[in-house]
Amino acid sequence: MCGIVGYVGPQSALDVVVAGLKRLEYRGYDSAGVAVLADGGLAAAKKAGKLVNLEKELVDRPLPAGTTGLGHTRWATHGAPTDVNAHPHLDNAGRVAVVHNGIIENFALLRAELAERGHVLASDTDTEVVAHLLAEEFAVTADLAEAMRLVCRRLDGAFTLVAVHADEPDVVVGARRNSPLVVGVGEGEAFLASDVAAFIAHTRSAIELGQDQVVELRRDGVTVTGFDGRPADVRSYHVDWDASAAEKGGYDYFMLKEIAEQPKAVADTLLGRIDASGSLRLDELRISAAELREVDKIVVVACGTAFHAGMIAKYAIEHWTRIPCEVELASEFRYRDPILDPRTLVIAISQSGETMDTLMALRHAREQGSKVLAICNTNGSTIPRESDAVLYTHAGPEVAVASTKAFLTQLVACYLVALYLGQVRGTKWGDEIHVVIRDLSQISRAVERVLGTMEPVRKLARSLADKNTVLFLGRHVGYPVALEGALKLKELAYMHAEGFAAGELKHGPIALIEEDLPVVVVAPSPRARSVLHDKIVSNIQEIRARGARTIVIAEEGDEAVAPYADHLIRIPATPTLLQPLVATVPLQVFACELATARGNEVDQPRNLAKSVTVE
Ligand code: F6R
């Protein structure tokens, strides 16, 4: 939700900031704006719509050249996505510019106070109050970092703020509470951004900002303090991917590239976690084996696609560890007073590591004394920082708003956690674990094979471009896969899509079936429990008898489903619990192709943002 960039150094601030915003546009694309300090003053430009509108504006009305600046790409919360509500926001004298990600909950009160003191506010945003408050504090302190600390102490809510002041031309100041902000440290230059992708072309040296911290950037260094002014401890790290990883690399869309990267992402997530003897090594977990042996309940919290990964994880966790496992939507979790205690292990799954609902759920769990293990793709993000332990997925940067490779790696990480629990608690024999690990190691090649057979899926998707509804059915782990297929179609193709447990069909949803309605069915392996497979064959017959057009995803060699499938999508045979790793891939390709055929923006679907940092 909203992307922020700040820069100070020898380069053109505008060039650095606009290039950074391009890499952050996935975070929001309602409007964009920039400000630079130049010639003793401050110049700003902002425009509703995508970044390209701002770029046109900068060609028509160029800003003066400067080497200190900031920029913003917005996902609107307060105020419609108009030019005037776009960030940056300035004070009345036009000396301070500020950009913001998050929500300032007490803005109405602050706004009323400012109005009483004669300030004129132009926008409907919560952000503008900060520019005016900073101007007031700077008039007293003549120190932007100190002004920021004083202002932050008066704000409620979640916020990342970045500001510049024309009277401190070589300084950029940032502040962080709950929303993400990272610092990039280069040679004689420094960067601030919501995500390292914004500055990775310039430096791979990064600093994590902690909760309630203010950072002052100058060309020759970075100073971090708490909101109280005390020096803060910070963690520096090296970003382990380079600029090319955040480029499209010849693909039309990031999503296509990210789908294609899945075999590598899966392999990378296993890398280094299996020792020479075939046992699991998860030394990075900071929860001891003794503590894991005490766990008597597991609760998975996550949102959206990550929630579907959690639903699949439940099957593996309960089967391999015999520990009861609940899966909860993070946005619902803390409101229903969940029963948690120190023996509950909470697993928080998040690609971005910044999803506010998930963050709030994990904070609630820790307050109740439970241990939290994060499964996360983003080094240094808030969710792993605030958890007791973390297992990173190594998917590399995921830029397309619709999650693909992160999902597969979340599954791999969940399987590793489940097996590890089985290993330390002795609920699985060593040789059983070796067999699953061997199977997992072969999945990367299976995904590669699926990707090589997707042309008929693309053709089928194009032929359905004028449909209004697609249903998805599955049983067992195929049920969350069906939910994930439906979610991908909704968000990308803007079609009505719903996933159901196939057995539930007869309890209501079967009334939706009508002539030629496309229904995608994820068939379990016939080698699983034959009763499960037999039941899905019956379900396919039931819907076909009522006119549905059946699209069946089935394992190679599964001939029993073939007579009832209008379209058959083959996937390699895998063990039952691992099938989602291959069965999801055709559904991703299907949704991506349908979105393209319907003329939708694949990487930036309407109304969405990749990192959801508001509740
Ligand atoms: C769907 C999608 C979202 C995210 C959800 C959680 O394609 O990407 O549903 O999965 O917003 O995001 P993270 O994993 O960053 O917590």
> Concatenated DSSP letters for 385-406?
HTSSEEEE-------SSS-SHH
Of 2, 152, 376, 592, catalytic: 2
Q: Is the CB of 351 under 6 A from ligand 1?
A: yes
Of 22, 46, 314, 610, catalytic: 610
Q: Ligand 1 centre from 62 Cα, in Å? A: 37
Q: What residues have CB less than 8 Å from 383, skipping those under 6 apart?
A: 348, 350, 353, 354, 355, 358, 359, 362, 374, 376
Start-to-end CA span in the chain (Å): 11
The ranges of the chain with pLDDT < 70 are none
CA 576 to chain centre: 27
Of 447, 451, 495, the residue nearest 472 (C-alpha): 495
What's the confidence (pLDDT) of residue 283? 77
Q: Ligand 1 centre from 28 Cα, in Å? A: 14
- Ligand 1 atom nearest 410 alpha carbon: 14
Q: Is the CB of 355 under 6 A from ligand 1?
A: yes
Q: Is the CB of 306 under 6 A from ligand 1?
A: yes
| Nearest CA, atom 9, ligand 1 | 304
What's the confidence (pLDDT) of residue 401? 93
- The radius of gyration of the chain from alpha carbons, rounded to an integer in Å, stands at 25
Q: Is the CB of 474 under 6 A from ligand 1?
A: no
Q: Is the CB of 381 under 6 A from ligand 1?
A: no
What's the confidence (pLDDT) of residue 530? 77
Q: Residue 590 carries which side chain, given as an amino acid letter?
A: F
> Is 610 a residue of the active site?
yes
Q: To test the ligand 1 pocket, which listed residue (351, 399, 405, 607) has its Cβ within 8 A of the most ligand atoms?
A: 351
Residues 483, 497 contacting (CB under 8 angstroms): no
- Ligand 1 atom nearest 358 alpha carbon: 16
Q: Tokens 């030629």, residue?
A: 516
Question: Per the structure block, which two tokens stand in for 347?
Answer: 């697993």
- Ligand 1 atom nearest 306 alpha carbon: 10
What is the spatial distance between Cα 80 and Cα 50, in angstroms, rounded to a whole number? Answer: 14
- Ligand 1 atom nearest 307 alpha carbon: 10
| Nearest CA, atom 11, ligand 1 | 304
| Nearest CA, atom 7, ligand 1 | 402
Q: Ligand 1 centre from 266 Cα, in Å? A: 18
Q: Is the CB of 612 under 6 A from ligand 1?
A: yes
103-145: per-residue pLDDT in tens? 899 999 999 999 999 999 999 999 999 999 999 999 999 999 9
Q: Is the CB of 403 under 6 A from ligand 1?
A: yes
What's the confidence (pLDDT) of residue 196? 93
**Surface-to-core class of residue 551, CB atoms within 10 Å of its CB (0-12 exposed, 13-18 middle, 19+ buried):** buried
What's the confidence (pLDDT) of residue 247? 81
What's the confidence (pLDDT) of residue 158? 84
Question: Per the structure block, which two tokens stand in for 598?
Answer: 């319907």
Cis peptide bond upstream of 572, omega within 30: no
Q: Is the CB of 486 under 6 A from ligand 1?
A: no
What's the confidence (pLDDT) of residue 524? 95
Question: Per the structure block, which two tokens stand in for 233?
Answer: 């401890």
Q: What residues have CB less than 8 Å from 44, skipping those under 6 apart?
A: 33, 34, 35, 36, 63, 88, 90, 97
- Ligand 1 atom nearest 402 alpha carbon: 7
Of 353, 342, 343, the residue nearest 302 (C-alpha): 353
| Nearest CA, atom 3, ligand 1 | 304
Q: Ligand 1 centre from 384 Cα, in Å? A: 16
Q: Tokens 């229903």, residue?
A: 336
Q: Is the CB of 303 under 6 A from ligand 1?
A: yes
Q: Is the CB of 604 under 6 A from ligand 1?
A: no
What's the confidence (pLDDT) of residue 250? 84
Q: Is the CB of 402 under 6 A from ligand 1?
A: yes
